[in-house]
A = this chain, B = another copy of it.
Amino acid sequence: MLERLKQQVCRANKELARRGLVMSTWGNVSAIDRATGRVAIKPSGVAVADLRLRDIAILDLDGVVLEGNLKPSTDTPSHLEIYKAWPQIGSVVHTHSLYGTMFAQAMQPIPCLGTTHADYFRGDIPVTRELSSKELAGDYERNTGLLIVRCFRGLNPLEMPGVLVARHAPFAWGKSLDEAVDNAEMLELMARLAHGTYQLDPDIDPAPTGLVNKHYLRKHGVGAYYGQKPVRRRN
C-alpha cells in the first residue's frame, strides 16, 4: 500500500516538472496515507529527472524517517504541519513557479480578478506575513508550516487550496495528489493572468463576490452542474 503511495508521489514529482512548475532541484510533492499516518515525500536536492522510486522517503507525522535511502526534502516539516492541521488534505505541493513566486516576493495576494480564478479558488489567494527573526532562527521549516496554518484561520483550505509564503514561493494542496498538482498549476496560471491584468490596470478591483461564488459553486458547490457526474475516468 505504501509502495503504491511512493509510486504516485514519484510520478507526481515528475509531472510537476513536465508542466513547467519546477526547475532544477526546487519544488516537492508529498502525499499522506491517512489510515496509517504515513507521509511519502521527495528527497532533498535531487533533480526530478534523476528521481527513482526507492529515493522517495516515508515518514510518520513526527518526522521520523521509516523508509528511503536519502534524506527527505528540507521542507518536510512544513508539509507535516499542514497535514496535522487539516485532516481533509491528502497531498501537498511546493513549487517556485515563476509568477506565483513573483507575487510571493512582492508579498501581495493573487487577486481574484475573474471567473477563471473563481473556478478554482474562492477569492484572493492569500500571502502569509513574514517570519519573525525568532521564527527564522528557530525551527525554520516547521515555522513556515505553522505560519501557513495560522494564515488560514477562518478560511476553508479546500475552497482555497493554495497560499504564498512571503518572500518565498507557493504551496498548494488537495484531497488527492492529482488535485494538489492541478491546484499548483492553476495557482501559477492565476498569478500569470493577474500579473498581466495589473499591467493593464494597476487599480483594478477584485471580481464581485456574486460572480466569484457563482463560478466557484457551479463547479464545486452542492448544486454543481459543471463537468460530468461522476467524473469519467479513463485508464
Q: Which listed residue, B46, B102, B114, touches A228 by the CB 8 Å rule?
A: B46
In order of increasing CB-CB distance, the 5 nearest A-B pairs are A45-B227, A106-B200, A102-B196, A105-B114, A105-B113
> Interface segment, A59-67, A83-91, A208-216?
A208-216
List A residues 54-108 near B (Cβ within 8 Å). 70-71, 74, 96, 98-99, 101-108
Given known A-B contacts A199-B195, A227-B44, A228-B44, A168 and B71 have beta carbons under 8 A apart: no
- Cβ contacts under 8 Å, A101 to chain B: 114, 116, 193
A152 interface residue (CB < 8 Å to B): no
- Cβ contacts under 8 Å, A186 to chain B: 24
- Cβ contacts under 8 Å, A214 to chain B: 136-137, 140
Given known A-B contacts A70-B232, A182-B24, A218-B74, A102 and B200 have beta carbons under 8 A apart: yes
What range describes how many residues of A lie at the interface? Answer: 35 or more
> A195 contacts B200, CB within 8 Å?
yes
- Cβ contacts under 8 Å, A103 to chain B: 200
A112–chain B nearest beta-carbon distance, Å: 10
Binding site for B on A (CB under 8 A): 23-26, 43-46, 50, 70-71, 74, 96, 98-99, 101-108, 113-116, 130-131, 133, 136-137, 140, 167-169, 182, 185-186, 189, 192-201, 204, 207-208, 210-211, 214, 218, 225-229, 231-232, 234
Given known A-B contacts A50-B234, A211-B131, A214-B136, A226 and B99 have beta carbons under 8 A apart: no
Subset of 13 A-B contacts with CB under 8 Å: A44-B228, A71-B229, A98-B193, A101-B114, A101-B116, A102-B193, A102-B199, A102-B200, A103-B200, A106-B113, A130-B208, A136-B210, A167-B211
> B167 contacts A115, CB within 8 Å?
yes
A150–chain B nearest beta-carbon distance, Å: 18
Given known A-B contacts A102-B200, A196-B195, A210-B133, A231 and B45 have beta carbons under 8 A apart: yes
A225 to B114, CA, bound (A): 41
> B227 contacts A25, CB within 8 Å?
yes
> A198 contacts B199, CB within 8 Å?
yes
A106 to B70, CA, bound (A): 44
